[in-house]
Structure 1
Amino acid sequence: MTILNRRRRKTVAATAIAGLLVTACAGGGNGSGTTTAAGVETEFDSFTWALQQLPVSLDLAKDATVNTQQVISLVTEPLERVANDGTFRPALAASVTQPDPTSIVYELAPGAQFSDGTPLTAEDAVWSLQHVTDAKAGAQTAGRVKSIDSITATTPTTVTVKLKFADPTARDNLSVISYVQSKKAAEAAGAALGTPSGLPVGTGPYVFKSSGPDKILLERNAKHAKTQPKAKAVSFVPIKDDNTGQLAMRSNSINGAQVTNVKQIGQWNNISGAQTVQLPANVTSYLTLDTSQPPFDDIHARRAVAHSIDRQGVSRAVYGANGVVLRGLVPQTLLEGVAGSADTAKGFLETLPQYDLDKGKAKSELAQSKTPGGFEVTIPYTTSSPWAEPTILNLQENMKELGVTITPKPESPEVWAKRVFAHDTPGIQSMQLIATIPDPNAVLPRVVGQAGIAAPGLNLANWTTPKIEDDVKALTGSVDREARWAATQSVLKQVSEQLPYIPLYAPNFVVALGKGFTFSEPVTQSDVLDGTWIQRVRATA
């Protein structure tokens, strides 16, 4: 986007995080956050945060998941950060300029050094940016910024990124993957980078002390040039579900965790001294239907599926009042900036066709398909998503009488993510994403269009049209807001009509803090992902 569009978006974007990390809709977790109890300005020995799964790799290019980002963001720092409202905040770069539509220039702040004592240079930043945008090397993060032409160190403290075309969200997307690590240490680690024998070396407030299957331990980085957090050490441990997490918090084995089953908020709050905090967020869940092969190369079969899910009922059962049903593939908060206002975005979403549970319509659509007698399909899903199994079981029950046999296939988060990034596309699968920049480009160009129909692309429906290709070009290559809004509407309308994806739910993003801890000020989901949350953790006494 141009500077003009960025400034315009600052005034209209809602306070919700909206890029894309594998793991959206007004009313679901889009408030300003929850007020927490006051803390004290004293240091404390340690803080333990629970993740659903520890990272497969501590190199974001090899494991582009929210779990990885939450860990590495405490050790490595980005060039800049993007806030929930779309504004930029400085990090390793003291200034960032865009002298023309195809250039981004980062001027590094003075004084930064890595935890091994070596100074940060532009060469380190260049290596790090090239690493996370290297599609040929298989970087899972490369799909975020496809407009990169070159990344060079134009002075010892200046990094210049040249784009092939005027990409309206290149700067945004780079901000969420530009975690800078020591070039020297990374090259020495080689293929082992991200493993316990090749841990990244960064400039952040912490340094890796150890990494194992049961715990990742970080200790303060004495070379960190900025304000030190109050926690002297931070540990990350795997907690597979909320019930296990609640037991761990009751025994003080963990001090904080994401609440994955938001219907259990009350149970978390019943833990002595604990509190839950609802964070502004954009999380979207949906089903993908592979349009490249039977039976879902047939629109009637896809419509039959869409009319066989009780989205409202499943949402109430899984989330209670802490989630909403999506009206489109992306939430309203991703649309407000490019639409020009919240009302415009909301009004457009209300025009999109909705597919509610209707067994009569499902039967009629299947009868018109190439498989009128039914079909068999296995649906893989990650066990870390509380909505996935109930949704698939609901679909299984509702389609049984139509002659459709659905077999749920639970997968660990690790297996699921590996398959997704390998572009392994079964007939139907569950998908959940966290958008990390407040723009439709966070999702739409990633999940539609020819460019995403190959690993590590996320067009898991293998779906495109000539019009979609034109729309993707406008979304990613135009700096005109009205042209991008027209393309956004076109993509969302085509998705709603052709159903390569079935939008499902947008749950709130909630974290729990254990006895003795609080946040000194409100945090957002972007703070949890970019590492700034740790600066706000305080002891209560």
Structure 2
Amino acid sequence: MNAHRMDTTTARTATPRGTAQRHATRRKVTALVAGAVVGVLALSGCGRIGTAAGEGDAKFTLSETSPAPTKDINGFSWAMYAEPFSLDYAYAFDYPDNTILSNVCESLLRWNKDLTVSPGLATKVENPDPLHWVYTIRQGVKFHDETVMTADDVVASLRRHLDEKVGSFWASAFQNVESIDKTGEDQVTITLAKPDYTLNSALVGAPGVVESAKTLAKDGKDYGNSETGVNCTGPFKFDSWEAGESVNLSRFDDYWDPQLKAKAQHVSFKILTDASARINALQTGEIDGAFMIPSNAADILKANTDAGNLYFGRDTTVQSLVFTDLAGTFKDVRVRKALMMAINRPALIKAAEQGYARPTDALTTRNVWGAAKPATVDGAFKDLQPLDYNLQEARDLVKQAGATGKKVVFSTASLSAAFDIETRAIASAAKDIGLVPEIRTMSNDKYTTLFSDPEARKGTDLIITSWYLSSTEPLEMYSVLRTGDFSNYGGWTNAKYDDLVNEAIGTKDPDARAKLTAQAAKIASDDVVWGPLYETVTSMWLGKRITGADPSINYMYYPWAAQIGGR
């Protein structure tokens, strides 16, 4: 995926047919610092979703939503930390792309704020046998050019992910798909080469987006760029894209869902790459809102209730170290484990994230395991290898591996204050255990290419990612670590792991599937393929003029801007 930038950034899967690129920058970057112990995110039921505690005091409360708006408005502005890579859903693989696109284009299924799934452009899904998924297509839906959506448009849209010439970043979601066909006036059938019970989970996002077949044919390779835009079915339509400045949308009055008819006539997404400039613009009211608030500004904004309100909500993101060269310094698992043990993660959370995160030994959050039984989920997390801070043991492991004095090239970017702190902390941790770190700082855009271009990663040993999942299916994460997967950046290979993941994908029962996934997760944990640092939380600022959006990671694939109106 060419679309994963950062600030605090995310994730996808393999390329089935081998040529699909993915700009998997979907991530953030972070590291750690020595220091005190901080914040634990404890989830609870009733009313609020939960709280995160910092040394006995509530650091923040997770909210389901913001107050309902009382009126329609002419428009509002929204801050973006980076420019989209593309508005073509086949390449929309990062926060900037999907934050905008979710309001313009829609998928067969919807991802709700509580991370459940409901009908979208498909009103019904059937699985008559293990090799067929049948979708009933919603009638009466119009594209922004006023033409009516048909099953032919659905077929054309989904088939792009199978086309090697397109090179969809989401091709791996369709890795087991044999064909996609119209099988009735309002029916589309996906035929599989072998059973795949993760396919539907992907269709809440970019893999399930429906675009006009005529538009796709007309715009060709220019589809989704700044000149052509897109022609989808969402509550907002594309107006303009001023490179480096803004992406502008306007309300689509013939939108099919009256419950999500936009309350604002216009939305302007302002590209502000400087974090300080973004925060200042939010406080002064120059910009009305934003997601992904830098942690070092959270306390300031939280206290400035005269200017607006800061909300926190559900997330599926884990900040991780990615070992991108398993043939070099990190070839020996002991060296990978040592670096993780040299990072004081509670201290890192306090220094870099101001306590707005939670330490974890997992590459997924618990809330993406919702289909499994609680005991299965508990076991999956309990069995993971703990990598608690232990500097002396870490030094011993490096010596045992014969890696003392070896160089580590750590590629990074100055994406935020937190990112800078993490970079220095990780480099310091490497040095403390006898490695020789070399930091390579690059532009935000160039950093993104590390997740999409193997050539760009040459000579790099270590990067950081904020890897979010786009569904409530943990296999979305663990499938990317299979042999040959495009996002298996270090080229790790383990036959037993591959077999477990592939078996899980073909297992219908959710709990049985989760148990197989848990076995695979333990193998990846024991081998420290990636190094999990902490879980993050979705953050959202709404200025004093606006309200109505939900602080949930579902904003990546749900028309959240349609909910925003005046206070």
| TM-score, L = length of structure 2 | 0.84
Specify the alignment match of 1:14 in structure 2. none
For 1:373-384, list aligned pairs within 5 A: 373-384=404-415
Tell whether 2:215 aligns with 1:185: yes
SS of residue paired to 1:247: helix
Superposition deviation, residue 387 in structure 1: 4.3
Map 1:91-490 to 2 at 5 A: 91-135=120-164, 137-177=166-206, 178-213=208-243, 214-227=245-258, 228-271=261-304, 272-290=306-324, 292-338=326-372, 340-341=373-374, 343-371=375-403, 373-384=404-415, 387-423=418-454, 424-425=456-457, 426-446=460-480, 448-452=481-485, 457-490=486-519
- Report 1:1-16 matches (<5 A): none
Deviation at 1:34, TM superposition (A): 2.2
Label 1:442 to 1:385 Cα distance change in 2 as closer, same or farther (>3 A): farther
> What's the CA shift string for 1:385-415, capped at 9, x where partnerless?
6544323322322332544221223334432
- With over 3 angstroms needed to count, the CA separation of the structure-2 counterparts of 1:478 and 1:502, relative to structure 1, is same
CA distance in 2, matches of 1:113, 1:100: 32
- 1:30-60 residue CA offsets vs partner (Å, 9 max, x unmatched): 8634266644442211111111112021112
Shift of 1:85: 5.2
Query: Counterparts of 1:20-39 in structure 2 under 5 Å?
Result: 22-23=26-27, 27=41, 32=49, 33-34=62-63, 38-39=67-68
Tell me the equivalent position of 2:548. Answer: 519
- Indicate if the aligned counterparts of 2:12 and 2:487 stay in contact, CA closer than 8 A: no
Q: CA deviation at 1:326?
A: 1.0
> Residues of 2 paired with 1:36 and 1:97: CA distance?
32
1:293 Cα deviation from its structure 2 partner: 0.9
Q: Counterparts of 2:42 and 2:327 in 1: how far apart (Å)?
A: 34
**In structure 1, what is the equivalent of residue 557 of structure 2?**
530
Q: What's the secondary structure of 2:394's corresponding residue?
A: helix
Q: Distance in 2 between matches of 1:518 and 1:198?
A: 31
Cα RMSD (Å) = 2.6
Tell me the CA shift for residue 86 of structure 1: 5.5
Distance 1:400 1:468, change over 3 A: same
Q: Residue in 1 aligned with 2:118?
A: 89
1:490/1:525 Cα in 2 relative to 1: closer, same or farther (>3 Å)?
Answer: same
Counterparts of 1:488 and 1:191 in 2: how far apart (Å)? Answer: 38
Q: In 1, Cα distance between the equivalents of 2:357 and 2:551?
A: 19
Q: Structure 1: which 5+ runs fail to align? A: 1-16
Q: Distance in 2 between matches of 1:512 and 1:36?
A: 12
Write the letter of the residue equivalent to 1:27: L
Task: Give 1:482 shift.
Answer: 4.8
Pairing 1:72–2:101 present: yes
Structure 2 SS opposite 1:110: coil
Q: Following the alignment from structure 1 to structure 2, what is the Cα–Cα distance between the partners of residues 519 and 111?
A: 27
In the superposition, relative to structure 1, how do residues 335 and 39 fare at CA in structure 2: closer, same or farther (>3 Å)? Answer: closer
- Render the CA deviation track for 1:155-194: whole Å, top value 9, x for unaligned: 2322111122221110111221212111111221111111
Quote the Cα distance in structure 2 between the aligned partners of 1:310 and 1:475. Answer: 34
Task: Please give the per-residue CA displacement for 1:239-262, whole angstroms capped at 9, x wherever unaligned.
Answer: 225422221123322111123323
Q: 2 CA distance for matches of 1:327 and 1:401?
A: 22
Q: Is the 8 A contact 1:96 1:107 kept in 2?
A: yes
**Is 1:287–1:430's contact at 8 Å kept on the other side of the alignment?**
yes
Partners of 2:183 and 2:40 in 1: CA distance: 43
Secondary structure of 1:443 counterpart? helix
Counterpart contact for 1:133–1:143, Cα < 8 Å: no
Change (3 A) 1:249 1:291: closer
Is the alpha carbon distance of 1:391 and 1:357 closer, same or farther for their aligned partners in structure 2, counting shifts above 3 Å? farther
Work out the CA distance in 1 between the residues paired with 2:311 and 2:557.
Answer: 17
CA distance in 2, matches of 1:287, 1:50: 27
Counterpart amino acid of residue 128 in structure 1: S
Report sequence identity in percent.
22
Instruction: Note the C-alpha offset of 1:136.
Output: 5.2
Determine the C-alpha separation between the residues in 2 that align with 1:324 and 1:377. Answer: 27
Tell whether the 8 Å contact from 1:379 to 1:429 is kept in structure 2 after alignment.
yes
Distance 1:37 1:84, change over 3 A: closer
Moved more, 383-392 or 276-285: 383-392
**2:283 partner letter:** R
Q: Which residue of 2 aligns with 1:4?
A: none
Q: Which runs of 5+ in 2 are unaligned?
A: 1-9, 14-23, 29-38, 50-61
Q: Deviations for 1:332-358, whole angstroms, at most 9, x for unmatched residues?
A: 2233433x11x5423442342222232
Q: Quick one: distance in 1 between partners of 2:230 and 2:11?
A: 27
How far does residue 135 in structure 1 lie from its aligned partner after superposition?
4.6
Could you tell me which amino acid in structure 1 is paired with residue 483 of structure 2?
Q
Q: TM-score, normalised by structure 1?
A: 0.88
Shifted more, 253-262 versus 433-442: the winner is 253-262
Cα distance change, pair 168–84 in 1 and its aligned pair in 2 (3 A)? farther
**Structure 2 residue identity aligned to 1:292:** L
1: distance between equivalents of 2:529 and 2:347?
22
Letter in 2 for 1:55: P
> In the alignment, residue 314 of structure 1 is paired with which amino acid?
L
Cα distance between partner residues in 2 of 1:218 and 1:320: 34
- Following TM superposition, by how much is the alpha carbon of 1:320 offset from its aligned partner in structure 2, in angstroms? 3.1
Structure 2 distance, partners of 1:409, 1:18, is 23
Contact residue 41 and residue 538 of structure 1 kept, 8 A = yes
**Residues 295 and 418 of structure 2 are in contact (CA less than 8 Å); yes or no, is this contact kept in structure 1?**
no
Q: What is the distance in 2 between the residues matched to 1:38 and 1:27? A: 24
Q: How many residues align?
A: 514
* Counterparts of 1:305 and 1:273, CA distance in 2: 42
Distance 2:263 2:191 in 1: 39
Preserved contact between residue 318 and residue 535 of structure 2 (Cα < 8 Å) = yes
- State whether residues 291 and 463 of structure 1, in contact with CA within 8 Å, keep that contact through their aligned partners in structure 2: no
